[in-house]
Amino acid sequence: MSESTPVYIVTGGAGFIGANLVAELLRREPDAHIYIVDDFRTGSYANIVEALERAGLPPFTGSVLSDSVGELNWQPALLGLQPKAVFHLAAITDTLEFNEQKMLRDNTEPFADILEACVECDVPLVYASSAATYGSPPQADEHTPFPLEAAGKPNNIYGFSKWLMDTEVFRFFKQRQAEGEPLPHVVGLRYFNVFGPGEARKGKMASMVYHLSNQILDGKRPRLFKMGEHQRDQIFVEDVVACTLAGAKPGITPGVYNLGSGQTTSFNDIVDAINEALGTSVEAEYFDMPEAMIPTYQHYTCADMSETKKGLNWAPSWSPMDAMIRYARMIANERSNARTTTKA
């Protein structure tokens, strides 16, 4: 690898969003050398292979470190590799994980080392925060977009772990401002509900678009909590990747930002989009939400994207409904191709 070769580090690069990010990085910079850091508890090599294949790219020739991010000595690694940016996506993302010690140990504690190393080595850092940091703010009852300042009262330990990451960044910023120094190039992105190709291996944590599409394709009625009117901000993975890369560009304003479509779709809307995509007219089957879920369930989310547009000079390209239609057709085509291959 020559000294002129651009280097990037992507933690969680074998996961759903991470693998799509790796593919887009290589599409934009074919000569880049990417270091993926992933402990492969939920990620898979197959996500990387398939993401590059979907993008029409050659096989992956970067480096893969099968370690958790907390096991790395970050400052020497950054000094040695001199990456153009670090994209930190590695995390436990299961919102139904209730082991608080495990969640904080894996998500929050290693982040302080990554943040400090990137700041000290002057390496841009873009990390994944979450809409779970909002919990159920007053805006949810009002059905209005969530402004950045509404975060801080999450409904689960996952959201709390991400909130602690955000507060660590706020402390760094406050210290820099007190010292009269410029803010470091650090961008946190509060991902809302992400869907798109490459999420199949997430299992139960895959998007409602994925699960409902497969239910309909299996000849079943899509199952929704009564009466399907819960509303979420759904955002296509292509837009999530584009904004994540935008966060590493020179000239952006450091900060923590929302990353959603800025629109809401109900679960009934998702069923409508899938029916349109597949040419079906299947009606939903409604059932009661389990009581254990009610206290932590976000019945409404919507990203206020105004600050994102100003600070990162970025806005989504896809409307949620158009992206859902495209994605449902992709799922149907993949299933059809898989059946054809099996028969052959």
| CATH code assigned at 97 | 3.40.50.720
Does residue 195 have a pLDDT over 90?
A: yes
Res 255: pLDDT: 99
pTM for this entry? 0.97
Residue 189 lies in a domain: yes
How far is Cα 253 from Cα 312, in angstroms, rounded to an integer? 6
Percentage of the chain beyond pLDDT 70 is 99
How far is Cα 316 from Cα 180, in angstroms, rounded to an integer? 34
Residue 206 lies in a domain: no
Residue 274 lies in a domain: no
* Range of the structural domain that residue 150 is part of: 7-196+235-262+302-317
Number of domains composing the chain: 1
C-beta of residue 47 within 8 angstroms of C-beta of residue 75? no
Residue 171 lies in a domain: yes
Residue 229 lies in a domain: no
**Confidence class for position 52, pLDDT limits 50, 70, 90:** very high
How far is Cα 240 from Cα 305, in angstroms, rounded to an integer? 13
Query: Which one is predicted more confidently, 330 or 343?
Result: 330
Res 344: pLDDT: 58
Residue 312 lies in a domain: yes
Catalytic residues: 158, 202
**Confidence class for position 342, pLDDT limits 50, 70, 90:** low
- Which H or E run contains 63? strand 63-65
Residue 328 lies in a domain: no
Rounded to 10°, the helix 237-246/16-28 angle is: 60
Q: Helix (H, G, I), strand (E, B), or coil: what is residue 98?
A: coil
Residue 322 lies in a domain: no
Does residue 206 have a pLDDT over 70?
A: yes
